[in-house]
Amino acid sequence: MPPSETSTSPAPEASSAPATRATSTSNTPEPIPSSSSASTGTDAAKARMDRWKALQSRAKKSSATNLKEVYAERRRQAVDPSTTSKLQRKKAEAEFKLAKVETAEQGEDFERKRAWDWTVEESERWDRRMEKKKRHVEDVAFQDYTQTARKMYKKQMRELKPDLDGYGAEKAKLMKDGTVVETEDGELVVVDRDGTFYADADSLGFVDNRPKKEAVDRLVSDLKKAEDARMSRKRGGEDEDVTYINDKNKAFNQKLARAYGKYTKEIRDSFERGTMI
């Protein structure tokens, strides 16, 4: 039997292809890293690290500052401003009395010694101011409605800011165009012709007078403020019976109701039904 072609054909050279590939790979040059690019990468990483550390330091500092502010705010909220002002006032009075006693022990005149640093006008002005402040502190309790209305009027007068420049300009114009009249006391009064500025019983010029927008807005703001104050006093007690004459008496009645309301409920209900004997 003749031999097959497969048996007589020479074996393929298996080592030729790998040798060719090895030769081709060995001839390819490898890239050499540049020293400039390496240094640039190191500088960028260092800059990012420095920036990160700076941000961490800023965040830590901000957190500490915020914590300190929170504690300070809590301390401010825990202190009552009225109590602080009261303590400061008592401290000032105590220092004044102490200085007066020490001066008397030294055999000197306290008022004369105190006046060395002030002029007569400044000293009298300060005494009037302290006396007025003392009366204001003592005049906070409710006495009657006339006194309350007087206090409200004085407060509105203190907050009133008249337009003196506009008043002066209108008065100067009136001095030029008006008529000067001498009163019985010898005082010279300027009277305008139409009665718009110095009005009397026969003047009708005020009808055509148009106030400024700022004055109207101020009037509206004052009326709204007064209405809000009235509503704040009425809020929460519209449906309950009025058994008090002021806010202090209302608080006292509420304390009595909390303490003895459960014991007097039957008596009050009998009074309301009209069956109480």
Q: How far is CA 113 from the centre of its chain?
A: 41
- Asked whether the predicted pLDDT for residue 16 surpasses 70, the reply is no
Give tens-digit pLDDT for 104-163: 888 888 888 877 888 888 888 988 998 988 887 777 766 778 888 888 888 888 888 888
Distance (Å, whole) CA 253 – CA 258? 9
Q: Output the six-digit token pair for 248.
A: 């202090």
pLDDT band at 272 (very low <50, low <70, confident <90, very high): confident
What is the mean predicted confidence (pLDDT) over 16-32? 47
pLDDT band at 29 (very low <50, low <70, confident <90, very high): low
How big is the chain by its Cα radius of gyration, in Å? Answer: 47
What is the mean predicted confidence (pLDDT) over 95-111? 88
Distance (Å, whole) CA 117 – CA 132? 22
- Asked whether the predicted pLDDT for residue 85 surpasses 80, the reply is yes
- Which residues, including other chains, have CB under 8 Å from residue 166's CB and lie 6 or more apart? 212
Spatial contact of 110 and 104, defined as CB atoms under 8 Å apart? yes
What is the mean predicted confidence (pLDDT) over 96-103? 90
| pLDDT (0 to 100) of residue 142 | 67
pLDDT band at 98 (very low <50, low <70, confident <90, very high): very high
90 or 176: which leads in pLDDT: 90
Distance (Å, whole) CA 174 – CA 47? 77
Q: What is the mean pLDDT of the chain?
A: 76
pLDDT band at 190 (very low <50, low <70, confident <90, very high): low
In a 3-state reduction of DSSP, which class is residue 48? helix
Whole-prediction pTM: 0.34
Give tens-digit pLDDT for 46-65: 888 999 999 999 998 988 88
Distance (Å, whole) CA 118 – CA 127? 12
pLDDT band at 37 (very low <50, low <70, confident <90, very high): low
Residue type, 125: R
- Asked whether the predicted pLDDT for residue 93 surpasses 80, the reply is yes
- Asked whether the predicted pLDDT for residue 15 surpasses 50, the reply is no
What is the mean predicted confidence (pLDDT) over 234-242? 62
In a 3-state reduction of DSSP, which class is residue 119? coil
- Which residues, including other chains, have CB under 8 Å from residue 182's CB and lie 6 or more apart? 188, 189
- Which residues, including other chains, have CB under 8 Å from residue 142's CB and lie 6 or more apart? 148, 245, 246, 248
Q: How far is CA 76 from the centre of its chain?
A: 14
- Which residues, including other chains, have CB under 8 Å from residue 183's CB and lie 6 or more apart? 189
Angle, alpha carbons 273-276-277 (nearest 5°): 150
Max mean pLDDT range (208-217, 245-254, 266-275): 245-254
Alpha helices in the chain (DSSP H): 5-8, 16-26, 35-78, 81-105, 110-114, 120-138, 145-159, 164-177, 213-234, 247-273
276 or 149: which leads in pLDDT: 149
In sequence order, what are the beta bridge partners of 179?
191
- 42 CB-side CA count, 13 A: 6
Name the nearest CA neighbour of 204 among 212, 193, 194: 194
Give, in order, the Cα–Cα distances in Å from 67 to each of 58, 61, 179, 200: 14, 10, 71, 67
- Asked whether the predicted pLDDT for residue 31 surpasses 70, the reply is no
Q: Output the six-digit token pair for 165.
A: 């420049």
| pLDDT (0 to 100) of residue 44 | 86
85 or 186: which leads in pLDDT: 85
